Amino acid sequence: MIADADLWDDFRNGKRYALSHIYFTHVQFLLRFGRKFTKDEELIRDTIQEVFLALIKGREKLGTTHNIRYYLMAAFRHNIARNLVKQSHHPTLTLPSGLDFLVEESPEELFISKEELTDKEKALRKAFNLLPPKQKEILYYRYVCELDYEHICEMMSISYDTARKMVYRSIRQLKSTLKENKFIVAFLGFFHNEKKSE
């Protein structure tokens, strides 16, 4: 399997296979990612097209990357935010703070990979959906996409300390909401302790 850095370099150098490989490897993920900001499927697809057209046009000026998915996520997030502002006709909406992060299917996507949810898992889902959009978003980047804090900071335009505090507080809030459910609280302890171990 070709490494991201090598594939990206091949794309930058104009090798034809590279663009299609990048596109077909990441397009389904970008569709799912887009649904976390809007339910407008046409807007999501248009935004993905914009991202790839920009890549093609600016191919020779692109820098290196070791994480193509992150690069595409960052570009998509920027473009979808801009497109949502245009669509809303609210010029005062700021970027990226104006984005709402939906994540209605989490936390089964975030923590659970089962088709049917138990009562405990339903409780976790309910607690997760009580989190503010930015807390949902940062947990998604950290635990689903497994981005490091440097990438999260770039993606959300926040400082390193802010990112770590947001993750810590989000997990602490989940634990507080679920304090009656000792099983889930123990499960969340792993994430709560991450801040201390890094």
pLDDT digits (tens, 9 = 90+) for 107-161: 445 554 455 557 777 777 788 888 888 998 998 899 888 899 999 999 999 999 9
If one counts every other C-beta atom within 10 angstroms of the C-beta of residue 78, the result is 16
Domains of the chain listed by start with CATH number:
4-88 (1.10.1740.10), 119-197 (1.10.10.10)
**pLDDT, position 63:** 93
Task: Report residue 162 as tokens.
Answer: 């802010």
Full-model pTM? 0.75
Q: What is the dihedral of CA 73, 155, 103, 92, to 10 degrees?
A: -110
Distances (CA, A) of 85 to 70, 78, 149, 178: 23, 11, 27, 36
Per-residue pLDDT of 56-67, as tens digits, reads: 999 989 999 999
Helix, strand or coil for residue 108?
Answer: coil
Residues whose CB falls within 8 Å of the CB of residue 35, separated by 6 or more in sequence, listed in order: 44, 102
Question: Which DSSP symbol is given to 61?
Answer: G
The whole-angstrom separation of Cα 181 and Cα 185 is 6
H/E element, 195: helix 194-197
